[in-house]
Structure 1
Amino acid sequence: MTNITLLSDATTGRTSDTCTAQLVSEGNKMTGPRIADAATSSTSGVPEPEDIPGVMMTLMRQLVRTKQQLFQGGHEESLPIQLMFAMRKHGPQRSGELAAILHADPSTVSRQVALLVRTGLARREADPQDGRAIHVVLTAAGVQRLGKLRAAVDGLFETVVKDWTSQERAVFVELLRRYIDNFAARGDDLIATLAEVATAP
Protein backbone atom coordinates (compact mmCIF):
# COMPACT_ATOMS: atom_id res chain seq x y z
CA MET A 1 0.00 0.00 0.00
CA THR A 2 1.40 3.35 -1.03
CA ASN A 3 1.52 5.80 1.83
CA ILE A 4 -0.41 9.06 1.57
CA THR A 5 0.36 11.46 4.40
CA LEU A 6 -2.39 13.97 4.94
CA LEU A 7 -1.13 15.82 7.99
CA SER A 8 2.46 15.20 8.91
CA ASP A 9 4.07 16.98 5.98
CA ALA A 10 1.85 19.94 6.56
CA THR A 11 3.12 20.38 10.08
CA THR A 12 6.47 19.02 11.18
CA GLY A 13 6.98 17.01 8.01
CA ARG A 14 8.25 14.14 10.10
CA THR A 15 5.41 13.07 12.35
CA SER A 16 4.76 9.40 11.63
CA ASP A 17 1.40 7.67 11.32
CA THR A 18 2.14 6.01 14.67
CA CYS A 19 2.70 9.37 16.33
CA THR A 20 -0.48 10.68 14.73
CA ALA A 21 -2.41 7.70 16.02
CA GLN A 22 -1.09 8.30 19.54
CA LEU A 23 -2.14 11.94 19.39
CA VAL A 24 -5.56 11.03 18.08
CA SER A 25 -6.18 8.35 20.69
CA GLU A 26 -5.28 10.74 23.49
CA GLY A 27 -7.26 13.65 22.08
CA ASN A 28 -10.37 15.19 23.51
CA LYS A 29 -13.44 13.46 22.06
CA MET A 30 -15.07 16.66 20.89
CA THR A 31 -17.35 16.57 17.88
CA GLY A 32 -19.28 19.18 15.98
CA PRO A 33 -20.09 20.46 12.52
CA ARG A 34 -17.54 23.27 12.72
CA ILE A 35 -14.18 23.69 14.37
CA ALA A 36 -15.31 26.94 15.95
CA ASP A 37 -18.21 25.12 17.60
CA ALA A 38 -15.92 22.37 18.86
CA ALA A 39 -13.61 24.96 20.37
CA THR A 40 -16.35 26.68 22.35
CA SER A 41 -16.14 25.11 25.77
CA SER A 42 -16.19 28.14 28.05
CA THR A 43 -19.43 29.32 29.63
CA SER A 44 -19.08 32.66 27.85
CA GLY A 45 -19.13 30.97 24.44
CA VAL A 46 -15.66 32.29 23.63
CA PRO A 47 -12.97 29.70 22.80
CA GLU A 48 -10.26 29.40 25.45
CA PRO A 49 -6.53 28.88 24.68
CA GLU A 50 -6.78 25.48 26.36
CA ASP A 51 -9.26 24.40 23.67
CA ILE A 52 -6.64 24.46 20.89
CA PRO A 53 -5.20 20.94 21.55
CA GLY A 54 -8.69 19.45 21.61
CA VAL A 55 -9.64 21.13 18.34
CA MET A 56 -6.44 19.93 16.68
CA MET A 57 -7.06 16.38 17.92
CA THR A 58 -10.50 16.53 16.35
CA LEU A 59 -8.99 17.68 13.06
CA MET A 60 -6.35 14.95 13.18
CA ARG A 61 -8.99 12.27 13.78
CA GLN A 62 -10.91 13.53 10.76
CA LEU A 63 -7.77 13.43 8.61
CA VAL A 64 -6.86 9.93 9.79
CA ARG A 65 -10.42 8.76 9.06
CA THR A 66 -10.22 10.30 5.58
CA LYS A 67 -6.92 8.54 4.95
CA GLN A 68 -8.38 5.21 6.02
CA GLN A 69 -11.35 5.68 3.72
CA LEU A 70 -9.01 6.28 0.79
CA PHE A 71 -7.90 2.66 1.06
CA GLN A 72 -11.40 1.19 1.30
CA GLY A 73 -12.45 -0.25 -2.01
CA GLY A 74 -10.08 -3.11 -2.65
CA HIS A 75 -7.20 -1.11 -4.12
CA GLU A 76 -3.79 -2.18 -2.86
CA GLU A 77 -2.18 1.01 -4.07
CA SER A 78 -3.39 4.57 -4.20
CA LEU A 79 -1.80 7.52 -5.92
CA PRO A 80 0.86 9.35 -3.87
CA ILE A 81 -0.92 12.68 -4.03
CA GLN A 82 1.61 14.71 -2.06
CA LEU A 83 4.47 13.43 -4.18
CA MET A 84 2.65 14.46 -7.36
CA PHE A 85 2.01 17.95 -5.98
CA ALA A 86 5.71 18.25 -5.04
CA MET A 87 6.80 17.15 -8.51
CA ARG A 88 4.51 19.71 -10.10
CA LYS A 89 5.66 22.52 -7.80
CA HIS A 90 9.41 21.87 -7.84
CA GLY A 91 9.88 20.55 -11.36
CA PRO A 92 12.35 17.79 -12.33
CA GLN A 93 13.98 16.33 -9.22
CA ARG A 94 15.91 13.27 -8.21
CA SER A 95 14.01 10.76 -6.11
CA GLY A 96 16.21 11.55 -3.11
CA GLU A 97 15.56 15.26 -3.53
CA LEU A 98 11.82 14.64 -3.53
CA ALA A 99 12.18 12.61 -0.34
CA ALA A 100 14.01 15.54 1.27
CA ILE A 101 11.34 18.00 0.15
CA LEU A 102 8.59 15.83 1.66
CA HIS A 103 10.64 14.83 4.72
CA ALA A 104 9.78 11.28 3.75
CA ASP A 105 11.61 7.96 3.78
CA PRO A 106 13.64 7.66 0.54
CA SER A 107 12.61 4.04 0.02
CA THR A 108 8.93 5.01 0.31
CA VAL A 109 9.34 7.79 -2.24
CA SER A 110 11.24 5.41 -4.53
CA ARG A 111 8.31 2.98 -4.46
CA GLN A 112 5.87 5.82 -5.09
CA VAL A 113 7.92 7.03 -8.06
CA ALA A 114 7.92 3.49 -9.45
CA LEU A 115 4.13 3.42 -9.14
CA LEU A 116 3.77 6.70 -11.03
CA VAL A 117 6.14 5.54 -13.76
CA ARG A 118 4.36 2.18 -14.03
CA THR A 119 0.98 3.88 -14.44
CA GLY A 120 2.28 6.35 -17.02
CA LEU A 121 1.86 9.41 -14.78
CA ALA A 122 5.60 10.12 -14.51
CA ARG A 123 8.77 9.36 -16.39
CA ARG A 124 12.47 9.19 -15.62
CA GLU A 125 14.88 11.29 -17.66
CA ALA A 126 18.58 12.10 -17.53
CA ASP A 127 19.69 15.25 -15.72
CA PRO A 128 20.87 17.64 -18.46
CA GLN A 129 23.61 18.88 -16.12
CA ASP A 130 24.73 15.43 -15.02
CA GLY A 131 23.92 12.54 -17.34
CA ARG A 132 24.56 10.04 -14.54
CA ALA A 133 21.70 11.42 -12.46
CA ILE A 134 18.07 10.62 -13.13
CA HIS A 135 15.26 13.13 -12.69
CA VAL A 136 11.60 12.28 -12.27
CA VAL A 137 8.95 14.41 -13.97
CA LEU A 138 5.21 14.19 -14.43
CA THR A 139 3.98 13.20 -17.87
CA ALA A 140 1.16 15.03 -19.62
CA ALA A 141 -1.17 12.37 -18.27
CA GLY A 142 0.21 12.96 -14.79
CA VAL A 143 -0.34 16.71 -15.02
CA GLN A 144 -3.90 16.11 -16.23
CA ARG A 145 -4.63 13.66 -13.40
CA LEU A 146 -3.17 16.05 -10.83
CA GLY A 147 -5.37 18.83 -12.18
CA LYS A 148 -8.44 16.65 -11.63
CA LEU A 149 -7.27 15.79 -8.12
CA ARG A 150 -6.69 19.45 -7.32
CA ALA A 151 -10.12 20.39 -8.61
CA ALA A 152 -11.70 17.66 -6.49
CA VAL A 153 -9.81 18.75 -3.36
CA ASP A 154 -10.61 22.43 -3.96
CA GLY A 155 -14.27 21.56 -4.43
CA LEU A 156 -14.34 19.55 -1.23
CA PHE A 157 -12.84 22.32 0.87
CA GLU A 158 -15.12 24.86 -0.75
CA THR A 159 -18.15 22.91 0.47
CA VAL A 160 -16.66 22.86 3.99
CA VAL A 161 -16.38 26.66 4.17
CA LYS A 162 -19.21 27.63 1.83
CA ASP A 163 -21.06 29.47 4.61
CA TRP A 164 -17.97 31.37 5.79
CA THR A 165 -17.54 35.04 4.97
CA SER A 166 -14.48 36.27 3.09
CA GLN A 167 -13.17 37.76 6.32
CA GLU A 168 -13.61 34.47 8.19
CA ARG A 169 -11.73 32.63 5.47
CA ALA A 170 -8.88 35.15 5.47
CA VAL A 171 -8.54 35.04 9.25
CA PHE A 172 -8.64 31.23 9.26
CA VAL A 173 -5.88 30.99 6.63
CA GLU A 174 -3.70 33.54 8.42
CA LEU A 175 -4.01 31.89 11.83
CA LEU A 176 -3.62 28.36 10.49
CA ARG A 177 -0.45 29.34 8.63
CA ARG A 178 0.95 30.90 11.79
CA TYR A 179 0.05 27.78 13.75
CA ILE A 180 1.71 25.50 11.20
CA ASP A 181 4.89 27.61 11.11
CA ASN A 182 5.14 27.72 14.89
CA PHE A 183 4.34 24.02 15.17
CA ALA A 184 7.03 23.13 12.64
CA ALA A 185 9.58 25.29 14.47
CA ARG A 186 8.91 23.27 17.62
CA GLY A 187 8.50 19.89 15.95
CA ASP A 188 11.63 18.37 17.48
CA ASP A 189 10.52 19.33 20.99
CA LEU A 190 7.08 17.84 20.38
CA ILE A 191 8.44 14.54 19.11
CA ALA A 192 10.88 14.34 22.02
CA THR A 193 8.10 14.98 24.52
CA LEU A 194 5.80 12.40 22.92
CA ALA A 195 8.61 9.84 22.82
CA GLU A 196 9.35 10.44 26.50
CA VAL A 197 5.71 10.08 27.51
CA ALA A 198 5.18 7.01 25.33
CA THR A 199 8.13 5.18 26.88
CA ALA A 200 7.48 6.24 30.46
CA PRO A 201 6.56 3.39 32.85
Structure 2
Amino acid sequence: MPSDDELATADMVGTQLMRLVRLLERKHAQYQADHPDAVERATYILLVHLVKDGPQRAGTLAESVHSDPSTISRQVAQLVRLGLVERTADPEDGRATLLAATAEGRRVFEQNRRSRNERIAALVADWDPADRHLFADLLARFTAAFDTEVAAAATRS
Protein backbone atom coordinates (compact mmCIF):
# COMPACT_ATOMS: atom_id res chain seq x y z
CA MET A 1 0.00 0.00 0.00
CA PRO A 2 1.49 3.38 -1.01
CA SER A 3 2.20 5.91 1.73
CA ASP A 4 0.45 9.29 1.90
CA ASP A 5 3.64 10.93 0.60
CA GLU A 6 3.83 8.51 -2.34
CA LEU A 7 0.17 9.15 -3.15
CA ALA A 8 0.69 12.93 -2.96
CA THR A 9 3.63 12.68 -5.36
CA ALA A 10 1.62 10.42 -7.67
CA ASP A 11 -1.18 13.00 -7.62
CA MET A 12 1.24 15.75 -8.67
CA VAL A 13 2.62 13.58 -11.46
CA GLY A 14 -0.87 12.59 -12.61
CA THR A 15 -2.08 16.18 -12.61
CA GLN A 16 0.90 17.35 -14.65
CA LEU A 17 0.52 14.45 -17.10
CA MET A 18 -3.15 15.32 -17.66
CA ARG A 19 -2.17 18.95 -18.20
CA LEU A 20 0.55 17.91 -20.65
CA VAL A 21 -1.83 15.67 -22.60
CA ARG A 22 -4.36 18.52 -22.88
CA LEU A 23 -1.62 20.88 -24.09
CA LEU A 24 -0.40 18.32 -26.63
CA GLU A 25 -3.94 17.75 -27.90
CA ARG A 26 -4.50 21.50 -28.24
CA LYS A 27 -1.20 21.94 -30.08
CA HIS A 28 -2.00 19.03 -32.40
CA ALA A 29 -5.48 20.42 -33.14
CA GLN A 30 -3.93 23.79 -34.04
CA TYR A 31 -1.42 22.04 -36.31
CA GLN A 32 -4.16 20.05 -38.05
CA ALA A 33 -6.21 23.22 -38.58
CA ASP A 34 -3.20 24.87 -40.26
CA HIS A 35 -2.26 21.74 -42.27
CA PRO A 36 -5.32 20.06 -43.84
CA ASP A 37 -3.27 17.05 -44.99
CA ALA A 38 -1.88 16.45 -41.48
CA VAL A 39 -2.08 12.90 -40.18
CA GLU A 40 -3.85 12.04 -36.92
CA ARG A 41 -1.43 11.45 -34.06
CA ALA A 42 -2.42 7.78 -33.70
CA THR A 43 -1.89 7.24 -37.43
CA TYR A 44 1.45 9.05 -37.35
CA ILE A 45 2.62 6.68 -34.61
CA LEU A 46 2.28 3.82 -37.11
CA LEU A 47 4.56 5.66 -39.51
CA VAL A 48 7.08 6.16 -36.69
CA HIS A 49 7.12 2.40 -36.01
CA LEU A 50 7.52 1.55 -39.68
CA VAL A 51 10.40 3.99 -40.12
CA LYS A 52 12.19 2.92 -36.94
CA ASP A 53 11.47 -0.84 -37.01
CA GLY A 54 11.27 -1.44 -40.76
CA PRO A 55 8.64 -3.25 -42.81
CA GLN A 56 6.21 -5.43 -40.88
CA ARG A 57 2.83 -7.10 -41.05
CA ALA A 58 -0.25 -5.25 -39.85
CA GLY A 59 -0.70 -7.68 -36.93
CA THR A 60 2.80 -7.01 -35.67
CA LEU A 61 2.23 -3.27 -36.00
CA ALA A 62 -1.05 -3.57 -34.06
CA GLU A 63 0.76 -5.37 -31.23
CA SER A 64 3.51 -2.74 -31.19
CA VAL A 65 1.04 0.08 -30.64
CA HIS A 66 -1.39 -1.91 -28.46
CA SER A 67 -4.25 -1.51 -30.92
CA ASP A 68 -6.70 -3.77 -32.68
CA PRO A 69 -6.22 -4.86 -36.33
CA SER A 70 -9.38 -3.10 -37.61
CA THR A 71 -8.15 0.25 -36.30
CA ILE A 72 -4.71 -0.37 -37.77
CA SER A 73 -6.26 -1.25 -41.12
CA ARG A 74 -8.13 2.08 -41.30
CA GLN A 75 -5.07 4.06 -40.23
CA VAL A 76 -2.76 2.27 -42.66
CA ALA A 77 -5.22 2.95 -45.48
CA GLN A 78 -4.90 6.69 -44.76
CA LEU A 79 -1.09 6.46 -44.76
CA VAL A 80 -1.18 4.59 -48.07
CA ARG A 81 -3.54 7.20 -49.60
CA LEU A 82 -1.10 9.92 -48.52
CA GLY A 83 1.82 8.05 -50.10
CA LEU A 84 3.61 7.65 -46.75
CA VAL A 85 3.31 3.85 -46.56
CA GLU A 86 3.20 1.12 -49.18
CA ARG A 87 2.04 -2.48 -49.12
CA THR A 88 4.41 -5.10 -50.50
CA ALA A 89 4.37 -8.89 -50.67
CA ASP A 90 6.09 -10.61 -47.75
CA PRO A 91 9.18 -12.36 -49.24
CA GLU A 92 8.78 -15.16 -46.67
CA ASP A 93 5.08 -15.71 -47.46
CA GLY A 94 3.75 -14.26 -50.71
CA ARG A 95 0.18 -14.48 -49.42
CA ALA A 96 0.96 -12.01 -46.63
CA THR A 97 1.51 -8.27 -46.94
CA LEU A 98 4.23 -6.17 -45.40
CA LEU A 99 3.77 -2.49 -44.64
CA ALA A 100 6.75 -0.22 -45.27
CA ALA A 101 7.39 3.51 -45.06
CA THR A 102 7.95 5.09 -48.46
CA ALA A 103 10.72 7.59 -49.14
CA GLU A 104 8.10 10.33 -48.65
CA GLY A 105 7.03 8.71 -45.38
CA ARG A 106 10.62 8.72 -44.13
CA ARG A 107 10.99 12.36 -45.20
CA VAL A 108 7.81 13.37 -43.35
CA PHE A 109 8.95 11.43 -40.28
CA GLU A 110 12.38 13.12 -40.27
CA GLN A 111 10.88 16.57 -40.83
CA ASN A 112 8.40 16.09 -37.97
CA ARG A 113 11.06 14.62 -35.70
CA ARG A 114 13.43 17.51 -36.31
CA SER A 115 10.67 20.08 -35.74
CA ARG A 116 9.60 18.35 -32.51
CA ASN A 117 13.18 18.12 -31.27
CA GLU A 118 13.81 21.80 -32.01
CA ARG A 119 10.66 22.81 -30.06
CA ILE A 120 11.60 20.64 -27.07
CA ALA A 121 15.21 21.86 -27.11
CA ALA A 122 13.94 25.45 -27.05
CA LEU A 123 11.63 24.67 -24.10
CA VAL A 124 14.49 23.37 -21.96
CA ALA A 125 17.30 25.54 -23.34
CA ASP A 126 17.66 27.47 -20.09
CA TRP A 127 17.77 24.32 -17.96
CA ASP A 128 21.03 23.08 -16.55
CA PRO A 129 22.37 20.36 -18.89
CA ALA A 130 22.35 17.83 -16.03
CA ASP A 131 18.65 18.59 -15.42
CA ARG A 132 17.86 18.07 -19.12
CA HIS A 133 19.58 14.67 -19.06
CA LEU A 134 17.94 13.68 -15.77
CA PHE A 135 14.51 14.66 -17.12
CA ALA A 136 15.08 12.61 -20.28
CA ASP A 137 16.24 9.60 -18.26
CA LEU A 138 13.36 9.78 -15.77
CA LEU A 139 10.78 10.28 -18.51
CA ALA A 140 12.14 7.27 -20.41
CA ARG A 141 12.02 5.20 -17.21
CA PHE A 142 8.43 6.28 -16.47
CA THR A 143 7.32 5.58 -20.05
CA ALA A 144 8.92 2.12 -20.00
CA ALA A 145 7.14 1.28 -16.74
CA PHE A 146 3.85 2.55 -18.16
CA ASP A 147 4.35 0.53 -21.37
CA THR A 148 5.01 -2.59 -19.29
CA GLU A 149 1.80 -1.99 -17.34
CA VAL A 150 -0.22 -1.50 -20.55
CA ALA A 151 1.18 -4.72 -22.02
CA ALA A 152 0.48 -6.65 -18.80
CA ALA A 153 -3.09 -5.33 -18.67
CA ALA A 154 -3.62 -6.39 -22.30
CA THR A 155 -2.54 -9.95 -21.55
CA ARG A 156 -4.90 -10.10 -18.54
CA SER A 157 -7.86 -9.09 -20.73
Runs of 4+ deviating beyond 6 Å = none
After superposition, give the CA deviation of every residue in 1:73-93 in whole Å (9 maximum; x if it has no partner). 483862522111100111111
The alignment partner of 1:120 has SS state of: coil
Give the whole-Å Cα distance in 2 for the aligned partners of 1:188 and 1:133. 26
CA contact (8 A) 2:88 2:98 kept: yes
Q: Which residue of 2 aligns with 1:56?
A: 17
Q: Which residue of 1 aligns with 2:131?
A: 168
TM-score, reference length from structure 1: 0.62
Could you tell which deviates more after superposition, 165-174 or 70-79?
70-79
| Structure 1 residue 169 displacement after superposition | 0.7
**CA distance 1:151–1:103, shift in 2 (3 Å):** same
Give the whole-Å Cα distance in 1 for the aligned partners of 2:140 and 2:14. 16
Give the whole-Å Cα distance in 2 for the aligned partners of 1:48 and 1:114. 42
Identity percentage of aligned residues? 35
**1:117 to 2:60 alignment:** no
CA contact (8 A) 2:66 2:151 kept: no
Give the whole-Å Cα distance in 1 for the aligned partners of 2:90 and 2:97. 6
- Decide which of 43, 46, 51 is 1:83's aligned counterpart: 46
| Structure 1 residue 56 displacement after superposition | 2.1
Could you tell which deviates more after superposition, 103-112 or 166-175?
103-112
**1:156 to 2:134 alignment:** no
**1:66 to 2:23 alignment:** no
More relative contact order in 1 or in 2 (CA 8 Å, sep 6+)? Answer: 1
Aligned AA (2:14): P
Which consecutive residues of structure 2, in runs of 5 or more, have no partner in the other structure?
1-7
TM-score, reference length from structure 2: 0.78
**Cα RMSD after superposing both structures:** 2.7
